Amino acid sequence: MQGPGAERLSGDRLRLWHGPIDLIVTADGAREAAFAAARARFATILTELVAELPHLRQPLDGLPFTGPIARRMARAVQPHTAFVTPMAAVAGAVADEILAAMTAAAPLTRVAVNNGGDIALHLAPGETFTLAMASTDAHDLGRITIRAGDGVGGIATSGRHGRSHSLGIADSVTVLARDAASADAAATLIANAVDLPGHPAITRRPASELAPDSDLGDHDVTTACGPLTDVEIDTALSAGETCAEAMRATGVIHAAALFLQGRSMMVAAEREIRSDPVPYTLPT
C-alpha cells in the first residue's frame, strides 16, 4: 500500500488520502497553518488504527486502547447497549482527530473535515454551516443548518446503501451530535433499528460471507429490500425513531433524519433539519 497522499483542490480545499481513508478538508481563518497541521497529523493515522484493529473489531471488553483515535471510537460506542463495535465510529473519529489538530494549531472561524460524508465541524461564534441531504439517486431530501452554539460538532450518515453493511433497511439516516464519532456510531445503530424483521421482501446474508474480516461477524446484514407498503415503511421508520428519540433524550445525539422508500421521519427541532416531502425513485 502506498503512503499517505495530499493535494490542494479548487475552492481552497485540501484532500488527504491513505488506503480506505479519503478526506476533504475546508478551513476559514489561518488556513495554511491549519492545513499543515492536518497533513502532519494524517501521516500516521492509518498505521495507528491498524495496530489496534483486532480489538476495534470486537465489542468493548474493557481493554484500554492506546491511540487517540481508537479511544475516540471506544467513547462513541460506550453509551450504547445494542451490538456495536468501535468500528462503527471509525470514519467520524478520524475526522474528529484531524479537526482537533487543526484547531489546536491555528485560529479558525469555520472548519469541516469530511470523511466520506461523515463530517467533523468547528464553528466560531456567528458562523453557520448548511448541508444538503440527497438520496442515493441524487434527489433532494432537505437541508441541515447548524449554527455556532447549537452543540453540534459532527454529522454522519448511515444506511444500507452506505459504505458499510447495515443490519437494517433504512435508505439513509443522518445524525447530528456533539462530535463526528458520536454521530457516526449513532447513525449506524439508528439505521440498524429501521427494520421489519422476518419480512419476505428483505434479503439478508451473514456479514462474514460478504466480508470475512467484517466486525459484524455472522450477524445478518441487509443485501436487498423490495417495495414496501406505506404502513410497513412507517412501521420500520417508527422503530428507528424510537431508537433515535432515546438517544436524544440522554444527550447522545442532537437530531436525526430517517429515510426509507420516499418517506421520512425527523427527530429534531424544525430549525435544525428541514425535509420537504419530495418523492424519489426507490433505490435498487
pLDDT single digits (tens) 37-80: 999 999 999 999 999 999 999 999 877 899 999 999 999 999 99
* Intra-chain end-to-end CA distance of the chain, in Å: 33
Considering the domain boundaries, does residue 284 fall inside one? no
Q: What is the per-residue pLDDT for 284? A: 31
The percent of residues above 90 in pLDDT, for the chain, comes to 83
As given in the structure block, the three cell numbers for residue 205 are 446474508
Axis crossing angle, helix 68-77 with helix 90-105, rounded to the nearest 10: 130
Q: Considering its fold, how many domains does the chain have in total?
A: 1
Considering the domain boundaries, does residue 281 fall inside one? no
Q: What is the per-residue pLDDT for 141? A: 83
Considering the domain boundaries, does residue 186 fall inside one? yes
Per DSSP, the residues of 163-202 read SS--SS--SEEEEEESSHHHHHHHHHHHHHHS--TT-TTE
Gap between the Cα atoms of 228 and 253, Å rounded: 28
The percent of residues above 70 in pLDDT, for the chain, comes to 93
pLDDT single digits (tens) 252-272: 999 999 999 999 999 975 444
In this structure, the strands spanning 172-177 and 255-260 are: antiparallel
**For residue 215, what are the domain limits?**
5-274
Name the residue among 58, 64, 16, 65 with its Cα closest to residue 37: 16
**Is the model's pLDDT at 282 over the cut of 70?**
no
Considering the domain boundaries, does residue 283 fall inside one? no
How much is the pTM?
0.92
Name the residue among 159, 161, 168 with its Cα closest to residue 202: 168
- Report residue 280's pLDDT band, with 50, 70 and 90 as the boundaries: very low
Cross-sheet strand order for the sheet of 273-274: 128-134, 140-147, 273-274
Q: What is the CATH number of the domain that holds 227?
A: 3.10.520.10
As given in the structure block, the three cell numbers for residue 28 are 476559514
**Residue 271 is which amino acid?**
R
pLDDT single digits (tens) 165-211: 999 999 999 999 999 999 999 999 999 999 999 999 999 999 999 99
**Is the model's pLDDT at 281 over the cut of 50?**
no
Considering the domain boundaries, does residue 149 fall inside one? yes
- State mean pLDDT over 104-119: 97
Task: State whether the Cα torsion 173-25-214-66 is positive or negative.
Answer: negative
Gap between the Cα atoms of 57 and 165, Å rounded: 14
The residue whose grid cell reads 489538530 is: 101
Instruction: Quote the longest CA-to-CA distance of the chain.
Output: 55
